[in-house]
Amino acid sequence: MNEEQHSLLLNSSSRFIPPQGVKLSYGTAGFRADASLLPSTVFRVGILAALRSLKTRSVTGLMITASHNQVSDNGVKVADPNGGMLSQHWEPFADALANAPSPQHLILLINEFVEKEGISMDGAGTLEVLLGRDTRPSGDALLQAAKQGVTSIVGAVATDLGILTTPQLHWMVRARNKGMKASEQDYFEQLSSSFRCLVDLIPTEKSKFNGVNDKVVVDGANGVGGVKLKDLGKLLNALAIEVRNSSEDGGVLNDGVGADYVQKEKVVPHGFGSKDAGIRCASLDGDADRLVYFIVPPESSGRIDLVDGDKILSLFALFIREQLSFLNEKEDINQARLGVVQTAYANGASTNYLKQLGLEVNFTPTGVKYLHEKAAEFDIGIYFEANGHGTVLFSESFVGGLEARTNKIASGSKGSEREKAALRLLAVSKLINQAVGDALSGLLLVEVILQHMGWSIHRWNDLYHDLPSRQLKVKVADRTAVVTTNAETVVVSPPGLQEAINEETARYPQGRCFVRPSGTEDVVRVYAEASTQETADTLANSVARLVDQFLGSNSS
């Protein structure tokens, strides 16, 4: 590190001293905390993003958001050059940066890390970090901290893209590094044109949606997604979108609204009620990277029928499987490998349904980074969590094959079913956000598949019926005492606990139960399923007591 760089870092970091007694950890969500605690952390993540750009010689991104958290919170995370999350290899460095107690410690850490990684900080050239933020009041001040962090690295440029959804920022980073147009308008145009292409390819007999209402009513969580969806909706003519709870409507972000609230509480968000019975309803989370649908029953008393991420995954898998069956009908075509990826929290009924379709179902530990990595192993990989976060990944070689095939087709509305299937899959690869889960692109894909199938939301929801489940948590002194394997479904330590869980689970029809240590707090999480809600509750409580017995813990 030369003298200019050392002086620049020392001067800038001296203005952002971390609060005492606060230790933050970088996870799937990046760093999150009360916004008042974050200026120094966001400043340092700006440095991190610039160093990542320097290491990869690519554009990186920095997003300021706390997603579905309360409005007083905020957070920050880095988008890697491929549009995905920060490389796991860099997460310990992120923790060390955020928690360095002084500017001197910070500079020492940076020096040691860049030397270990072989990063030259002398005459680095132009580096760029794209910055985005959600609608939180604290966002602008934190953005200024991020800018100062980025520009503390010689040659680094911070490009403020304004208020965005998290998936938009990830999409733009990925697009920039692929040499594509990458403005917000480019994002809207790619999604809308791909949607229109899929609409044009709907079979004639289903083009009228079989009389099903073509309107969807969307809860925007009083966040950024509602505004962006309104802008996107102006480019669509085959779908009517009504947005409620947009950030401009004056409601409180994530307060009684949003995908997280709807999925966990299974009640209507603010602004919805019996008047919406029979209409397709959907809910975004605060930064629009999660999507769930729901049905308001005629006599709901506030309750809903939830159509969650597992059902979205199943719908996507059905459609893509159908297109692949047309594409692969000739023996001279290499069979494309389609894979579905879930975590142990996926409802057992969804897993059974997917397996009955003959699909390859894989499991990973909890966390989007694990799901995304596994899905990338397939020609087409689909992953979703029940909370509504997920996407579809297409391998570059498979997309290249589709492009070569579709270039020979004069018109997407003509040709064989095999040719149309290739056009549909290519359009899906452009509609879905392959960088990260995206509620806006996901919603458009759900809507056009329902039109293609001629299905109502009720028909979709009836694909299978969820097994009753219960989640509990048990407070423990040391969560690391529980060690798991097999995608977190089997306990290997403490000895004997898994055998006790197996014995208890076997007592219940359709029983399934696993425990895993939390990644963020000293609790052990318990998940149980069974044939009835009563037995699922009993199983969960029984296993929670077993955790107590084996760990000498304090149940909550």
Binding residues: 67, 285, 287, 289, 385-387, 516-520, 525
Distances (CA, A) of 274 to 131, 217, 219, 304: 41, 13, 15, 10
User: How is residue 538 written in tokens?
Assistant: 């009993």
Distance, CA of 529 to CA of 551 (rounded, Å): 23
Binding residues for Mg(2+): 67, 285, 287, 289
Amino acid at 538: T
Binding residues for substrate: 385-387, 516-520, 525
* Residue 333 neighbours by CB distance under 10 Å: 13
Choice among 13, 53, 67, 456 that is catalytic: 67
Closest CA to 82 of 360, 406, 377, 435: 435
Distance, CA of 334 to CA of 327 (rounded, Å): 10
Q: Are 164 and 158 in contact (CB under 8 A)?
A: no
Amino acid at 131: L
Task: Give Cα 317 to chain centroid, integer Å.
Answer: 17
Q: Are 120 and 110 in contact (CB under 8 A)?
A: no
Say what the alpha-carbon torsion angle 496, 500, 505, 508 is, to the nearest 10 degrees.
160
Paired residues of 223 in beta bridges: 246
Q: How many residues comprise the chain?
A: 556
Asked if 67 is an active-site residue, the reply is yes
Which sequence positions are flagged as catalytic? 67
